[in-house]
Chain A
């Protein structure tokens, strides 16, 4: 956790002679969706922190696991207490880079985002397609990707293993604004 804070602050404050280089949101959206024959489960997080350095295309994202809101209180409780163990690992983070960031335009707005995703204390390399909408007043990133529950050492008890998918779809939508 300390490490990612250093990355975030490095992105934010160092070599920030030109402040317009940084775009930030504290209200980013990340959701995940699990589909199984028994039920569909969805959780939304609208408090995601994300910072882009427009010079390098580097990006740092942080979110609180307890900010994921479920329809059913019991699911939210099980998620935090038993599956992702939020008391031990309160945050999920992503640190990486938007490839060819400076070459993106309205006509050519699709690229790859590559980096490391940390959930439940487990680190995994991720690479996925992302749509980038650049404007004077903001930068929007949109996309989705799949993660395997097992990759993050999240244990699902046998009794509910039919209720929860092995692969979870993660969707993100981040509307960054100029920082200060």
Chain B
């Protein structure tokens, strides 16, 4: 492979969703030689599917709104393992980032006074939980992600960002010192392999919901950045923390925004009872997503589920009227008709908790710099490697993300990573070049697939992986199931290592891309499974029958999964915000 072409950039951003495009925009404006490398045309990235909005204290719905209240909600929502310095940064910088989006042209919905429309979302409060429900989620109808992603792409066009669209990053390239100095990438259209050399490599590859059989995530959400980082030996943080969104359409898995409940919709069981009143007397249907998802599963398990099999509940919207639905939730009306064969103006939508979001990921600081631990357990920056968006774990979401905080995370930390990389490049970055053997190491798994001559097929193995995760690592978890799941995953890993790529052609070979994605799903699934088994408590989205309580003595910590030993360590949570007092852990009720 010594004849491989190389491309050289100051910064390469892998992933063209919200965080990648926001980072790229910052760097394109700075004049640094930057490229976005994305396996799909950027507006096909999963950010496009975000519906309800971007949560931020811009003080539009309530002129007295305060980012500190948003920060309190975020820390409480994360069940107190969100890093408070990061939550502080996101919530205080948020308004600037949202106004920037508006100035770029994002078509936000509006109030009569011309300001950005904000709707109530789950887990939102005024006055540190004492002032009742807030309305803090800025929305463009129920197509906020689409509007945001297209706006960012458009502004990257305006600023002449270089795009490598429909290119697939295979693996990171590390030099002899362990610094990340680029990646191996494949042009999907031609099959050409390229060595991308870069002083800063940003993983903005999004989530990995496709490790589960039922997910709201796009088919492309295969955790490519997580897989690459794990294969390069870097640790993953809080991988047991997966959010199950309360309202995925039953059977199809497609998302129905929390904004439906923000606009006044609510969940009912087979008796027509608004059951959330029992589980969360104050916030009701707008409690944290983990709380609502668990309550729904309890209703189903206790025989009050809807439908012939009693395996889902209903989301009632018809009382909102056609006008509100048409104005505020037009996309939901469309999706319900297509995927549930239901007109929400007339009938309730069948819904069930569905895998939605990965709170864990590559541990980073607020500048997007990836972090690992030295031998004494101290944080250590990984030279050359950055992460932002869902692939990163800053951590602002802790054990459970609040609705609308994902889009804010993307733009705030995409921007922060871009700004930091710009200043670091200005100061000068020099790393050792990669040697041929460093490059060969990053080519290993692709070569393995290309040389495979027999074995099991990719789609069947992927389906097995998704079933294991679905049955053993779902909303409620317990020791014996998880042990069994970890064992099955270990066997599956062996089989995937011997699986077969039947199509060896070069031009737009999607079978090869899917094979490479399967390796990444395997890495993410294993990190999730071992982290979930080892965190012996219930916190946020991680709910165990055998350890039903939160254990702040032992587990007020991030988990850190080490791929070399497949073991779980711990990392301190940050409790020292710079400008506000620490939010001390309290019992979490809604």
Asked if chains A and B come from one complex, the reply is no
